[in-house]
């Protein structure tokens, strides 16, 4: 059994690292392909060292572009790699363009595909990620799900039950392993978030990158106005994704004047350290909805829907939808009330990758 893994964008690295390590521990020969969808040191390089992923064996260096360009170019560039490597299984992660592009190329070469984080559905086909999820699942041979509703979605779409493996959340494996390391970091001190007595000052952590929020100038401006109002009450820390950085140009000084600390994207450990201690998180990230759920941090998701409904039903995540102004009231009330305890989610326990590796080792088409 030889396994080829594909990573490309920031959220892939935290999911792939534990699976790489679990298969390595079982002596499985592995090959790592980076598509180059994300390429800045702060969107890619930093995660390899922090998560303990090796240097990729191949980097396709596809870079940025339209959906068709990125997807098509990855397919063209990965095809010869797949032909040369002839893996028994290609593992793809999440829902980014790299995920679908490599799955499609592998499928056409008759190479088996395992999809980690299968079955999540927002039921909103205007999201490029939803198209990537549905299509990747249709052509996958092993579908690894992180929550029970994902299996239900797959069965509804006609995926045979025998292909679906409820293994839990691989992204949470990285969190469980590295939280003790993240806690040791002086991130909050360095950002001036620790008071003279040594306690952490209350702050809200923000991360935004969905086109629906940041490509619409008016909406982004309204979000920034609300964050500015919150910034009058407590610190707001806003590590800015490169997609968002382009759109924020010219607004950064105004944000700083309103108490918002704008930074470059943070490494995994620094971001995790800040997430755990935040009074609340405002986001449109998929992974951050899950991480805040594990950590029990109140999360406000600036989207009308989520493919991760379990984060809402368990009580940590609230969908704010289109009514950005509602966010201010929600944040001020959570700043006053604090956190609520919730039951741990099944298989969000740091062992999802072991379950995946056991299935992979026993897999024969
Ligand atoms: C992509 C994924 C999205 C995921 C997000 C995680 C798709 C369709 N989208 O969105 O699902 O949630 O990654 O972060 O796959 N850029 C840089 N440096 C980089 C990478 C990107 O400057 O290293 C800039 C470029 O201007 C680029 C823009 O960011 O055009 C968007 O990058 P892209 O990968 O196309 O989409 P994301 O918004 O990052
Ligand atoms: N993350 C990070 N630094 C940041 C923002 C996010 O390390 O400045 C991590 C976050 O902890 C999570 C992952 O990036 O593990 C989520 O990726 P992202 O939000 O880019 O993508 P999505 O999950 O929305 O697809």
Residues 119-177 have pLDDT tens digits of 999 999 999 999 999 999 999 999 999 999 999 999 999 999 999 999 999 999 999 99
* 44 vs 182: CA distance, rounded Å: 18
* 87 vs 316: CA distance, rounded Å: 40
Give residue 288 CA to ligand 2 midpoint distance, Å: 6
pLDDT at residue number 339 = 80
* 361 vs 96: CA distance, rounded Å: 26
* 174 vs 160: CA distance, rounded Å: 29
pLDDT at residue number 323 = 87
Which of 209, 241, 342, 364 is labelled catalytic?
A: 209
* 334 vs 143: CA distance, rounded Å: 37
Q: Is 8 a pocket residue for ligand 2 (Cβ < 6 Å)?
A: no
37: DSSP letter: S
pLDDT at residue number 340 = 77
* 71 vs 37: CA distance, rounded Å: 10
Q: How far is CA 215 from CA 250, 285, 301, 332, in A?
A: 15, 15, 17, 27
Is 258 part of the annotated catalytic residue set? no
pLDDT at residue number 23 = 98
Q: Kindly report the pTM of this predicted structure.
A: 0.98
Q: Is 128 a pocket residue for ligand 1 (Cβ < 6 Å)?
A: yes
Point out which residues pair with 91 in neighbouring strands: 5, 114
pLDDT at residue number 197 = 87
Ligand at shortest distance from the CA of 14? 2
- Closest approach atom of ligand 1 to CA 70: 35
Ligand at shortest distance from the CA of 207? 2
pLDDT at residue number 289 = 98
- Closest approach atom of ligand 2 to CA 171: 15
Alpha-helical (H) ranges within 215-364 are 217-231, 242-248, 252-257, 268-277, 286-295, 310-313, 326-337, 352-361
Give residue 364 CA to ligand 1 midpoint distance, Å: 35
48: DSSP letter: H
200: DSSP letter: B
A 10 A CB-CB count for 251 gives 16
Residues of the chain with pLDDT below 70 are: none
* CB neighbour class for 152 (10 Å; exposed up to 12, middle 13-18, buried from 19): middle
* CB neighbour class for 283 (10 Å; exposed up to 12, middle 13-18, buried from 19): buried
Q: Contacts by 274-277 with C-beta closer than 8 Å and gap 24+?
A: 274/187, 274/188, 274/191, 274/193, 274/203, 274/205, 274/237, 275/205, 276/179, 276/182, 276/183, 277/188, 277/193, 277/200, 277/203
* 340 vs 286: CA distance, rounded Å: 21
Q: Ligand 2, residues 41, 207, 273, 295: which to mutate, most atoms within 8 A of Cβ?
A: 207
pLDDT at residue number 302 = 97
Task: Give backbone dihedrals phi and psi of 59, rounded to 5 degrees, phi first.
Answer: -120, 120
Q: Under the phi-then-psi rule, with left for phi > 0, alpha for psi from -120 to 50, and beta for the rest, what region is 171?
A: alpha
* 131 vs 53: CA distance, rounded Å: 28
Residues 102 and 80 sit within 8 Å (Cβ to Cβ): no
Q: Is 209 a pocket residue for ligand 1 (Cβ < 6 Å)?
A: yes
Give residue 161 CA to ligand 1 midpoint distance, Å: 33
């Amino acid at each position: 059994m030889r396994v080829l893994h594909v990573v490309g964008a920031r959220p892939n690295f935290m999911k792939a690292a534990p699976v790489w390590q679990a298969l390595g521990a079982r002596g499985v020969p592995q090959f790592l392909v980076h598509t180059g969808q994300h390429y800045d040191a702060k969107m890619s390089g930093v995660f390899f060292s922090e998560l303990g992923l090796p240097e990729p064996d191949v980097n396709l260096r596809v870079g940025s572009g339209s959906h068709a360009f990125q997807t098509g170019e990855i397919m063209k560039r990965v095809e010869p790699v797949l032909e040369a490597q002839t893996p028994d299984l290609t593992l793809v992660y999440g829902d980014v363009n790299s995920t679908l592009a490599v799955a499609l190329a592998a499928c056409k070469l008759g190479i088996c595909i395992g999809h980690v984080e299968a079955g999540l559905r927002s039921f909103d086909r205007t999201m490029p990620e939803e198209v990537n999820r549905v299509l990747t699942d249709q052509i996958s041979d092993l579908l690894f799900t992180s929550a029970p509703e994902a299996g239900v979605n797959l069965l509804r779409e006609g995926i045979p039950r025998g292909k679906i493996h409820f293994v839990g959340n691989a992204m949470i494996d990285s969190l469980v392993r590295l939280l003790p390391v993240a806690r040791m970091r002086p991130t909050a001190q360095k950002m001036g978030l620790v008071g003279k007595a040594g306690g952490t000052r209350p702050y809200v952590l923000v991360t935004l990158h969905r086109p629906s929020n940041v490509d619409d100038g008016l909406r982004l401006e309204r979000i920034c106005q609300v964050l500015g109002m919150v910034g009058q009450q407590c610190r707001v820390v806003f590590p800015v994704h490169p997609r968002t950085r382009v759109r924020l140009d010219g607004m950064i000084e105004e944000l700083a004047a309103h108490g918002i600390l704008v930074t470059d994207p943070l490494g995994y450990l620094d971001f995790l350290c800040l997430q755990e201690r935040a009074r609340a998180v405002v986001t449109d990230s998929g992974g951050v909805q899950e991480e805040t759920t594990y950590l029990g941090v109140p999360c406000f998701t600036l989207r009308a829907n989520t493919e991760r409904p379990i984060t809402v039903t368990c009580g940590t995540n609230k969908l704010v939808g289109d009514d950005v102004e509602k966010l201010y009231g929600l944040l001020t009330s959570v700043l006053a009330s604090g956190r609520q305890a919730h039951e741990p989610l099944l298989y969000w326990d740091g062992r999802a990758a072991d379950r995946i590796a056991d299935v992979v080792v026993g897999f024969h088409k």
